[in-house]
Each structure stands twice: as C-alpha cells, then as structure tokens.
A and B are shown apart, each in its own frame.
Chain A
Amino acid sequence: MNYELRMINLIINLIPLFPLLGFLILGLGFNRIPAKVASVVGPGTVLLSFAGSLIVFFHLLSGHGTGGSGRIVTTLFNWISFSGFTISFSFLMDPLSLLMLLVITGVGFLIHLYSVGYMKGDQGYNRFFAYMNLFVFFMLLLVMGAGYVMMFIGWEGVGLCSYLLIGFWFKNQEFNNAAKKAFIMNRIGDLGFLLGIFLLFTTFGSLNYLDIFGQVKELNPGTGVLTVITLLLFAGAVGKSAQIPLFTWLPDAMAGPTPVSALIHAATMVTAGVYMVARSNILFVLAPATMTVVAVTGLATVLFAASIAIFQNDIKKILAYSTISQLGYMFVALGMGAFTGAMFHLATHAFFKALLFLAAGSVIHALGGEQDIRKMGGLGPSINKTRWVFLIGTIAISGIPPFSGFFSKDEILSHLFNRSSILYIFALAGAIMTSFYMFRLYYLTFHGKFRGTAEQKHHLHESPSVMLLPLFILAGLSIAGGVINLPAFMNGSAWLQSFLAPVFSDALPFLKPPEFEPGPGLEWLLVAISVVCVVCVIPVAYLWYVLSQEEERKEPLWQSFLRKIPANKYYIDELYDTLFVRPVMSLSKGFHEIGEKKIIDRFVDGIGVLVVRTGNTIRYLQTGHVGFYVFMMVAGIIAVLIFNLVI
C-alpha cells in the first residue's frame, strides 16, 4: 500500500520531468545530435508522460490510496519559504487535472508525431522539438500545480514557449512581431492574474487550492473581495484564452509552424484560461457578478470571432478565429455554471481542432506553403485522405450528431436554455455561423476548381504516413469523443460528469437553480432545433462557394461596406494601435526628449550652471584695488558692529 503510494508519487513527479528532460537533451545537444535522435526524443518523452498519466488515471479511478478524497497531493520541495510564508513545489492530482493531463499528453504526443513529418528537413528541427517539449513541461506544471503560484509558473512558461514557437522562423520579422504581440498581450492578462494571486494571499493567507477552497466556503456569496479576485483572475484567463478584448494575438500567432498552432493555439495552451476558471469554480460561483461577466464576455467573443471568421481567406486564420469562438463557448458555459460542459467541450475541441489544424497543415504541406483558400479549391481528389479527415473535423466542430462536437456543444446549449433563453439564442446563432464558415472553408479548399499555379498542381501530394497516422487517430477521437459524456436523456451514463463531480461538487449548491427542469422531450426538441439550424446552412455554403464561385457576385455598395468591416477584423488591431501602441511610443519619445533632456537633466545641470554663474558674477568684486579691499574690510567691521548693537 505504502509502496504503491510511493510509486504513484514517483510517477506523478516523472510526468512533467520527461518533457523537461527531452528539452534539456535537445536544447543542450542543439545541432550536434542527429535529427533521428530528435525524432525519437521529442515525441518519446511526451509519450512517456502520456503513459504516466494513464497509470495515474487508472489508479485514481480505482480509488486506491487517495483516502476517499479522490485526489493525490505530492510535494517535490519547498520553493520559497521563509518566516511563515511558504510556497511549495507540489502537484495536485484530481479528476480535473487528470483530464487536462490526458488531453495535453495524448493530443500533444500525436502532434509531436505529426511534426516529425511536418518539420522534416527544417533547419531548426531539433530546436523545434526542444521548444515543444519545454512547452509540454510548462503546460503540465500549469495543470498539475497544487496552487496558484504553480499555475502561474506554468502560465508564464507556456507564454514563453508560445513566443518562441510563433517566432520559430525568426528570419521573418513579421513572425517575430506576431510572437512579441502574443507574449505582451498575454502579459497584460498575467498582470491581472498576478494581482489576483496577491489578493488571494492577503485574503486567505495561502495560495494552495485546497487551503483557499476550504476557507472560501465560509464567506458570503457576492463578497466584494471575491468579485475583485475573480475578475482579476479572469483577466488572466482572457489574455491566455484570447477572449475579448485581448484576442487579437491569436490570429497573428498562426505565424508559427502548423503543429504549434494545433498544440498551443488550439488544443492546450489557450484552454488554460478555461482550466483556471474551472479550477477556481468555487471562487467564481461565490461571485455572481463575475460569473455574468464571464458569460457575457464568452458570448460576445463567440459571435464576434465567428463573424470575422466568415470573411477570412487564410486557412489558418479561419481556424484561429474559430478557436477563439469555441473558447468563447467554454466561457459561456463556465459563466453559466456548466463546468462539466465547459471541460467536455474543451476535450472534444482539443480533438477536432487539433485534427483540423493538422489537416490544414497537411493541405499547406501539399501546396508547398500556400495558405490562402482563394488559391486552393478542388483539392479533394488529390489529397483524399486529408480531405476526409478535414471533413470529419468540420462536421464535428459544426455540432452535427453523432460526432463529438455535437454532444459537447449541445450540452452547453441546453444548459443555456435552462437558464437564459436570450443567451441560448445568441449561442445558437454562433453555432450556425460556425457551421457556415467551416463549410465555406471546406468547400473552398476541397471542392470546385483548382485556383493555384500549375507548379503547385504538379507538386500536389498526400502527406507521409507519419503525418496521416495522428490525423486518423484524431479523426477517430473526433467522431467518438462524445461517448465520454453521453447525456442521460440519450440513455448515456454522463461519465465525465460523475468523474469530475468531486471537483465541482462544492460549487454546485451555490449556483442559481435553473429556471425549469426540462423533460427528455424538450431536450430532444432542442437537439432537433440546433441540428436543423446547423445543417441548413451547409447547402447555402455549397451554393455560394462551390456552384457560384466563378462569377463574382455584384454586391451593392452598402453590402461591400458591411463585408469590409469584419473582413478587416473590425479594425481592432488598428484601434489598439491608435489607443495604446502609438501613445506609449510617443510617451516614450516625450519622456526622453522632454522629461529627461528638458526637465530633469536641465534642472540638475541648472544647479551646476547656477554655481558657475554666481561665481562669475561675484568675482567682479575682486577689483584688484587695495583701497577697495580695505574699504570693504572696514565697512564689514562697521556692519558687524552695528549688527551687534542692534541685536
């Protein structure tokens, strides 16, 4: 028993250690170790972590050695500790972190495997895998940490890796700009997160989840400090998960290699914000105001990002906006208290979005780097396998049964319907838009006529099997992923719900009860409505983008104007540029030119100049006339005498 516990502790500690080891080997070995070794070490370490996660998962499932609490806490060492202030480097294993672990290491491994083929022959092959392993390490720290500081370590660490990987091809300064933008926008959110951590510490005197969550139950719901804490934490989540207003970095982040977009900017890192809110569920539930903010932000992001996605022409950017939009769904779910639904959608989204990105990567690979869908078309026959997996991903994300996306999205939608019909309608609209832009993407890419160059056409080829294998596995998961949480009205077991129940059980009593409990009949009706809506737009997309793609439709001026705004992303980048970037730049110039040179330095130099000037003036008293000196002396004596007499 004791032995078993120690084994499990060891395995838990090894899970993040493997990728770190991989990073060290690849990082220090650098260009000296052959690419073959890197192809083994890179994915291999992540596979080992996956295996470790599975062991811990089954161990936890069996319920041994957790003392009935359903969680294991292991402490590696005391990180910061002095007079009554301790932050230990410790890991918390519970259903929530395990779900994340499995997604990260599982999907992460597949993407690593894919990268072996995708990145083949790249100059920085070893460097790529080093960064990817480092990313997995930090991501694991993020989800495994037993306290907010541990989460913050991972949080910042994945931000760094995201920076390094977006700017992976660092010869291109555009890419570097995108990388820098991502890091800085993340850091804006991180400041909120950090302040939230400080406030948590001053309020609860600890930063461990279990300590805080234990104490927080004694507070009254809606306490001001809780609202502030959760808002600050949410600011961090907004930055990391690319929600309004900090979302503009994610589309730019597509500058990185496609596996990076799949792993970091779709499946794992961007979901860290969702994980954080889910992890702090009890804090958020006790701050209803924040919950509303979360839900509204999420919903706004859903619609906003979806409307932009419809008008984009870059295959990866469309997927990026779709990611933002899907993350919005998760936040809506969180804001409405559907924590399980959010985590469910997180998992299925990881499957199908990773699939879509990797398939898109396969398309880009086939076309030799082309990303503009206006120059694609008719690729279906030549890269048939990619086409089919892409189609699976598209169906899954559109929420068409029985694919995984349907179940997770439906769970969120029905939850919304029970609580707020307005939110439900907007969320449904978002789902329709999702279906539309995804099928637009699909049709423009794989159907119709080829619009690229002849050279590209000649070059067209299916990807190697090392890239296709992960695609097939992910396609399988996208199809069948829904089974982990089949809803009760479909005679499912809602396994995920019961698995995650211990994590969320404390929060549920504080949730506002739903306005009404729908019967199975209504549930089926809702499903029917959403499926019909979503399916209806598919022919529209087919009609517009396959049948009538040849002739440019003449559109009235106001319509083209209407199209221009979302096509230019509502000019948000330009807005931020005018509101923040330029003012800071001119402030910098102003401070330097005026503050430094004209005020501070002039003042300091002024004192010196004053001394010199005074000396210059007074020295004329030194006339050289002895008589004058004597006169001054006598005058002085007399002055002193008078002074003495008067005082």
Chain B
Amino acid sequence: MNSINASLQFVPISYYLFFCTVLFCIGVTGVLIKRNALLILMSVELMINSINLLLAAFSTYLNDPAGQIFVFFIMVVAAAEVAIGLAIIVVIYRTTHSIDIDILNKLKW
C-alpha cells in the first residue's frame, strides 16, 4: 500500500486537480449545450467521475482510505442513477419518439 502510495504521489496533486477540473468543465459544458438526453446523462457521468478521481487522489495523498470508500459508494449510487435515468429516457422516447430535451417543456409555471 505504502509503495503504491509513494509511486502515485510521484505525480503532483496539482496535476490531478487540473485534470479533474477540465474533466468536470467538459461535463458541465456537455450538460449545458447538448440537447440529447443521453448525451446529457453521459456528461453528468463525466462530472461524477471527475469527482471520483479527485476523491481517490486526495485519499492517497492524505493516507486516508475513507475517500476511496466514498468513491465506491458514489459508483454504486451513480449506477443506480444511470439505470433510473436511462429508464426514464427510454420511456420518454417511447412516448415522444425523441430524446431531445427541448420538447420536454410541459412541466412549467
């Protein structure tokens, strides 16, 4: 464990931070600009995974396994979420024959 930590710590933490920020922003941008519900869902996954990566990185740098345990939790929850999200998208597709989110504007004021 210690040797793995040491080898991982060879990469400076700022790299992880930078990388995850970029990944997160790509996710946000995807959510903001995409019309396709499936792509939005994927962008959300991207954001989640950027956070996961960051958690794991800090976990090793701080020698605290709690972060990695969190990652597992998040992955489980994300899987459930994706399952539900996809199910919803499938249902939407069946009723509207489209997965464009702009036509889903009935739920307003």
B31–A620 CB distance below 8 A: no
Give A8 Cβ to nearest chain B Cβ, in Å: 91
Which of chain B's residues has its CB closest to A628's CB?
Answer: B105
Whether A634 sits at the interface, judged by CB under 8 Å, is yes
In A599-630, the 8 Å CB interface with B consists of 619-620, 622-627, 630
Give B55 Cβ to nearest chain A Cβ, in Å: 18
Q: Give the contacting residue for B108; candidates A622, A627, A630; CB below 8 A.
A: A622
Q: Give the contacting residue for A630; candidates B32, B104, B105; CB below 8 A.
A: B32
* Chain A residues in 8 Å Cβ range of B40: 626, 630
Q: How far is the CA of A624 from the CA of B105 in the complex (A)?
A: 4
In B95-109, the 8 Å CB interface with A consists of 101-102, 104-109
* Chain B residues in 8 Å Cβ range of A495: none
* Chain B residues in 8 Å Cβ range of A623: 105, 108-109
Whether B28 sits at the interface, judged by CB under 8 Å, is yes
Known: A634-B28, A634-B32. A627 touches B102 (CB 8 A): yes
Q: Give the contacting residue for A624; candidates B28, B31, B35, B108; CB below 8 A.
A: B108
In A514-569, the 8 Å CB interface with B consists of none
B69-109 interface mask toward A, CB cutoff 8 Å, 1 = contact, 0 = none? Answer: 00000000000000000000000000000000110111111
Q: How far is the CA of A622 from the CA of B105 in the complex (A)?
A: 10
Which of chain B's residues has its CB closest to A624's CB?
Answer: B108
Give A631 Cβ to nearest chain B Cβ, in Å: 6
* Chain A residues in 8 Å Cβ range of B109: 619-620, 622-624
Q: How far is the CA of A622 from the CA of B109 in the complex (A)?
A: 5
Q: How many residues of B sit at the interface, in one of the four size bands?
A: 10 to 19
Q: How far is the CA of A626 from the CA of B32 in the complex (A)?
A: 9
Which of chain B's residues has its CB closest to A627's CB?
Answer: B101
Give B39 Cβ to nearest chain A Cβ, in Å: 12
Which of chain B's residues has its CB closest to A633's CB?
Answer: B31
Q: Label chain A's interface by main secondary structure.
A: helix
Give A88 Cβ to nearest chain B Cβ, in Å: 74
Which of chain A's residues has its CB closest to B31's CB?
Answer: A630
A195-227 interface mask toward B, CB cutoff 8 Å, 1 = contact, 0 = none? Answer: 000000000000000000000000000000000
B32–A631 CB distance below 8 A: yes
Give A621 Cβ to nearest chain B Cβ, in Å: 8
Q: Give the contacting residue for B104; candidates A622, A626, A631; CB below 8 A.
A: A626
In A80-111, the 8 Å CB interface with B consists of none
Q: How far is the CA of A619 from the CA of B107 in the complex (A)?
A: 12
* Chain A residues in 8 Å Cβ range of B104: 624, 626
Q: Give the contacting residue for B105; candidates A619, A620, A625, A631; CB below 8 A.
A: A625
Give B83 Cβ to nearest chain A Cβ, in Å: 19
In A299-326, the 8 Å CB interface with B consists of none
Give A639 Cβ to nearest chain B Cβ, in Å: 14
Give B35 Cβ to nearest chain A Cβ, in Å: 8
Give A617 Cβ to nearest chain B Cβ, in Å: 11
* Chain B residues in 8 Å Cβ range of A634: 28, 31-32
* Chain B residues in 8 Å Cβ range of A631: 32
B28–A625 CB distance below 8 A: no
Q: How far is the CA of A586 from the CA of B93 in the complex (A)?
A: 72
Which of chain A's residues has its CB closest to B105's CB?
Answer: A624
B32–A625 CB distance below 8 A: no
Give A42 Cβ to nearest chain B Cβ, in Å: 81
Q: How far is the CA of A622 from the CA of B107 in the complex (A)?
A: 8
Q: Give the contacting residue for B107; candidates A620, A624, A627, A630; CB below 8 A.
A: A624
Q: How far is the CA of A634 from the CA of B25 in the complex (A)?
A: 11
Q: How far is the CA of A627 from the CA of B109 in the complex (A)?
A: 16
Q: How far is the CA of A634 from the CA of B27 in the complex (A)?
A: 12
Per CB-CB distance, the 3 closest pairs between chain A and chain B, nearest first, are A624-B108, A624-B105, A619-B109
**Measuring CB to CB, which residues of chain A are less than 8 angstroms from any residue of chain B?**
619-620, 622-627, 630-631, 634
Additional pairs, 14, CB under 8 Å, beyond known A624-B106, A627-B32:
A622-B108, A622-B109, A623-B109, A624-B104, A624-B105, A624-B109, A625-B101, A625-B105, A626-B101, A627-B102, A631-B32, A634-B28, A634-B31, A634-B32
Sample 14 A-B pairs with CB under 8 A, ordered by A number.
Answer: A619-B109, A623-B105, A623-B108, A624-B104, A624-B105, A624-B106, A624-B107, A624-B109, A625-B105, A626-B104, A627-B35, A627-B102, A630-B31, A630-B40
